[in-house]
Structure 1
Amino acid sequence: MPSQPTTPHLRRIRRRIRVRGITAVRFLGSPPLRASNSRRCYPQITELSEHSKRVWTVVGLVERRIRPLVSDLLAEEPVIALQGPRAVGKTTLLRHIADAHGVQVVDLDDLATRGAVAGDPALFVSGSAPVCIDEYQHVPDLLDAIKAELNRDARPGRFVITGSTRHDALPAAAQSLTGRLHRMTVYPLSQGEIAGVHEHFLDMVLEDASALVTATPSSTTRDDYITRITAGGFPMALGRSETARNRWFDNYVTLSLLRDVQELSRIRQKESLPKLLARLAGQTAQLLNIRAAAEQVGLTPDTGENYTRLLEDVYLIHRLPAWGKTLRARAVATPKLHVVDSGLASRLLRLGPSKLARHDATSLQQFGHLLETFVVFEVLKQASWLAAVAGTGHWRTHDGIEVDLVLELDDGRIIAIEVKASTKVTGKDLNGLKALRDELGDAFVAGVAFHTGQRSYSPEDRIHVVPVDRLWTPA
C-alpha cells in the first residue's frame, strides 16, 4: 500500500501543544511547557480564583467527553464524521484516533496535501483503517471515493473524517454516503471539560431529577458567570487577556468569513457578511428575524436568508428549531437563534465583562440573552455525549408561554430547560415549564429552571429550580 505523504505542515502539527486526543490549553500565568522523554506532560486543569475575575491561571489539558463515544462507534459505523466549528479540537481528537490505530492523518488544510488528494482521491481513501481525513470539505469528491471504497468493503471503522462545514451544505454530500455516515457535533469546551469535572447533569435528570436539589448553596457569583460567558469555550481563546481574546475572536470571524464561507459560495456582497453576522448576534437567544437583520444591512430578505444559512453552515450561528408544533395549534414555528459560543457572541456584540457587570436595563437584558445562550450550549454539549437524545428545540406559544430548551429522547420522554438571569425565580417564571408538563403528562421527565442565585429547590411536581453552576458542579 502506498504510504501517505508527510508534509512540512503535518510535521509542524505534531509539534503543537496536542497530546493523544486531549486538547491542551495554556492559561494566564502558567509556567513554560517542559518536555519529558520527548513527550510534553501537563497537569490536570484546576480552577483558581484571582480577585473577582477568577482567572484560570494554570496549564491544563482537557479530556474531551465525546472521545469514548467515538471509540465505541468505530466498532459499529463504517464512517464517522466529526463536524463543528473550527478550533474546537476536532483535529486533536482525530489525531488521537490515528495514533491509537497507527495511521496518519490526511490534513486537507495543507494546500500541498489538498492538491494531491484532489488529484487522486481513490489513493487516499484506500489506506489502512481507519482512514483519518481532516477538513474533508475542502475536497468534496472524497465522499464519492469513500462511497466506492465502501462498496467493496463496508466494515465498521473504515473512515473518520472531520469538517468545519455542515455536511448537508456540501454539493454532493447529501447523496454520497446516505445510510453509511454517522455525524457527531464537536462543540467548544464545556465548563466541566475546562475545569476537569465529569459533568452528569443530564444523567441525573434522567435517573432522578430531584437529586439536583441539595442543601449546599452555590458559591458562583454574577461576576463569575460573566467571566465564564465572555471567555466562552474555544481552547485557543481561553486564558488570554481580554484584549488578546478579543483579537483572537476578531481574527476567527474574519478567517471564517473570508475562507470557509467563500469556499461554500461566491458572495457578491462580501462586505455585508460581517455586518449581518453582527446584527444576527444581537438576536442571540431570541426568535430569529432574518428580514429585520437583512434590512438593517441593506440586503433583500432572500439574500439575507441565503447569507444566514451560510453563516449557519460554517458554525458561526445555530438555529434552534421550534418544537411541539403538533402539540398545540397555537405554538409558533419560528426558530430561535444562538451564536455558537457565548464568548464569541459577547465579542460580536462588543460586550466585555465591565459592560455586562452594569446594572442598567440594557446591560441586564444583554446579560440575560448571553446567559441563555451560554446555558443552552452547555446543555447541548452534554446532550451530544448521550446517544438517547433524538432532538432539541424551543417551545413557545402565540400567547407568550415559552420554554427555552426542550430535549426529546428516543423513547419520547421530554426534558425542559428554562433560564433566568435573576437570583430569584418567581411562580410566573415557571409558567412555561408547568404548561408543558401539563400538556405532556407522564412523558414529561422534568423541568429545570436555572438561575444565578445560590439555592436549589423543587416548588412543584417535576419542577426544579437550581443554580446555573449545577450544570458542571457535583450535586
Structure 2
Amino acid sequence: MRGRHATDALLEALHDTPAVYLQGARQTGKSTLVRAVAERQHPAQYLTLDTAAVLDAALNDPEGFVAGLERPVVIDEVQRAPALALAIKAAVDSDRHPGQFLLTGSASVMSLPALSDSLAGRMELHTLWPFSRGELAGVRETFVDRVFAERLVTPDTVPNTEKSLVERMCTGGYPEIQTRRSHARRQAWFDSYVDAILQRDVRELANIERLSELPRLLALLASRAGELLNFADLARTLGIPQTTLKRYMTLMEMTFLVRLLPAWFSNLGKRLAKAPKLLLTDTGLLTHLIEADASRLRRDRTLLGHVLENFVAMELIKQLGWSRPRCRLFHFRTESGAEVDLVLEDRAGRLVGVEVKSAATVRQQDFRGLETLARLTGDRFARGVVLCTGTTVVPFGRNLFALPVSQLWA
C-alpha cells in the first residue's frame, strides 16, 4: 500500500474527536486507507454498507444497528444509509470518547444534511483525493509551506521532461489506474468509472429523470476546464433550463467529479470578476473526457496549458490537506482582464499568486497579472511564482520567481 499523506491528519482527528468523516470520490483509496488505520494505528471493527446484509440492517433499524456495534468502528460508504446519522449522534451524545466512529462516504457531507447537521460539533471532516504526484513518488510535498516562508527555498529536484509530465497528467491519480499500462486499458477503466458514478451514485443522491443528459454535461464541463463558469452559456449549449443545470452541477460536485474554484476578491475599490473557475478533479479523467491523449496535448499547446493549469490547481488543493499554513485556494481576475491563475491565502490574509505556463521559457510579461495583484494588495502580497516546464529557478524581481513545475512536488 502506498502511503497517503492524509493519514496523520486522520489519526490526529481520531485522537480527540468522537466521529471522523473521510469523504472523497469512489476509487480514491478511502476503504484501503481506513482498513489500514483500523488494522494498525487505530484498531477498530470494519463494516461496509456495500455489503447487502450490513446495508439492510442499517436501513431497517438504524438505532439497533448502532447500539449493537463494537466500538471503535469503521462504517464505509455511510451515505447509503443517511438515517444512521441520528443514531450515531445519540451514541456520541451518551459517550463523548474520541475515535469511536470513522465514517467514509463517496458523496460530499454537504449532500447529507442529516449527517452534517446531526453531527455538527461532534464530527471532523477530511477529504481524500486521488494520489498526489508526491504520493506516487514517495515524497511529502512542502510547496505551500515554502512559498509562504520568509525566504523561498527551492530543493534540488529531477526536472520532469515535458513528455513524462504529459504522460503523468493523462494517467491521473486514481489508484486503480496506476496498474493499467496501456492507453486503451486506462480508457476502458475511465469509461466504467464514469458510468458507475452517474448510474449509481448520482441516482442514490437524487431522483434524476433524464440521467442520459449527465454524460453530455460532464464532457462539456471537461472541455471548459480552467474557464469561468457561465451557467447561461452551458444551459444554452445543452438545451436545458438553468435550474436543471444547477441541480446537475451540484450533483457533479457532490460526487467529486468537478470542483469550483472561487474567485478571490476583497474591498479594494476595484471591480473584480466573481464567477468561479471550473476544474475537473483528476486530469486523467479530464483528458479521457475530451479524448486527448499525450501526443495530442504535446501538439496542441493551448490545450496543454488548460490541462496543466487544472493539474497544478488540483495538486495544490491536495496539498492544502497537510500543509502547515492553513490556506484556501482561489483564482483572481479583474474586469479589465488582468488575471492570476491561482491565489493562495493563509489565515493571516497573506497572498501567494501562482501562474501556470506550458512553456520552458518565462518572460517578464508573464508576471503582469502577479504584478497587478501585488499592486492591489500591498503588504498582503507575500510572493508570486510562475510554474513552467523549464528546469531553472529564476528570480524576476522582488518576491517574483519562475520555478520548474517539479518544485510543486519537492
User: In 1, Cα distance between the equivalents of 2:380 and 2:122?
Assistant: 32
Aligned in 2, Cα 1:138/1:454: closer, same or farther, shift over 3 Å?
A: same
1:125/1:131 contact within 8 Å kept: no
Structure 1 residues 334-353: aligned runs within 5 Å = 334-353=275-294
Gaps of 5+ in 2: none
User: In 1, Cα distance between the equivalents of 2:309 and 2:94?
Assistant: 48
Equivalent residue for 1:461, pick from 386, 398, 401: 398
1:273, CA displacement in angstroms?
0.5
Instruction: State the one-letter code of the partner of 2:352.
Output: I
Classify the secondary structure of the residue corresponding to 1:75: helix
Classify the secondary structure of the residue corresponding to 2:401: strand
Structure 1 residues 181-196: aligned runs within 5 Å = 181-196=123-138
1:208, CA displacement in angstroms?
4.4
Instruction: State the one-letter code of the partner of 1:196.
Output: G
User: In 1, Cα distance between the equivalents of 2:120 and 2:71?
Assistant: 20
User: In 2, Cα distance between the equivalents of 1:322 and 1:119?
Assistant: 44
Give the corresponding residue for 1:40: none
Instruction: State the one-letter code of the partner of 2:99.
Output: G
1:373 aligns with 2:343: no
1:211 aligns with 2:148: no
2:45/2:70 contact within 8 Å kept: no
TM-score, normalised relative to structure 1 = 0.82
Instruction: State the one-letter code of the partner of 1:65.
Output: H
Equivalent residue for 2:209, pick from 268, 271, 275: 268
1:172, CA displacement in angstroms?
2.3
1:220 aligns with 2:157: no
Aligned in 2, Cα 1:327/1:77: closer, same or farther, shift over 3 Å?
A: farther
1:386, CA displacement in angstroms?
2.7
Gaps of 5+ in 1: 1-21, 23-61
Equivalent residue for 1:258, pick from 199, 202, 226: 199
1:104, CA displacement in angstroms?
1.9
1:155, CA displacement in angstroms?
2.5
Q: Which range moved further: 296-305 or 368-377?
A: 296-305
User: In 1, Cα distance between the equivalents of 2:265 and 2:365?
Assistant: 21
1:72 aligns with 2:12: yes
1:442 aligns with 2:382: no
Instruction: State the one-letter code of the partner of 1:282.
Output: S
Classify the secondary structure of the residue corresponding to 1:460: coil
Classify the secondary structure of the residue corresponding to 2:36: helix
Give the corresponding residue for 1:202: 144
Instruction: State the one-letter code of the partner of 2:178.
Output: L
Query: After the TM superposition, which parts of structure 1 deviate over 6 Å for at least 4 consecutive aligned residues?
Result: none
Equivalent residue for 2:106, pick from 164, 170, 176: 164
C-alpha distance after superposition, 1:310-334 (max 9, x if no partner): 1111000001111124345411110
1:218/1:453 contact within 8 Å kept: no
Structure 1 residues 242-257: aligned runs within 5 Å = 242-257=183-198
Classify the secondary structure of the residue corresponding to 1:287: coil
Give the corresponding residue for 1:85: 25
1:210/1:458 contact within 8 Å kept: no
Instruction: Give 1 or 2: higher helix fraction.
Output: 2
Give identity over the alignment, percent: 38
Give the corresponding residue for 1:235: 175
TM-score, normalised relative to structure 2 = 0.95
Give the corresponding residue for 1:384: 321
Aligned in 2, Cα 1:406/1:171: closer, same or farther, shift over 3 Å?
A: same
1:163, CA displacement in angstroms?
0.8
1:391, CA displacement in angstroms?
2.2
2:320/2:328 contact within 8 Å kept: no
Classify the secondary structure of the residue corresponding to 2:272: coil
1:119, CA displacement in angstroms?
1.8
1:156, CA displacement in angstroms?
2.1
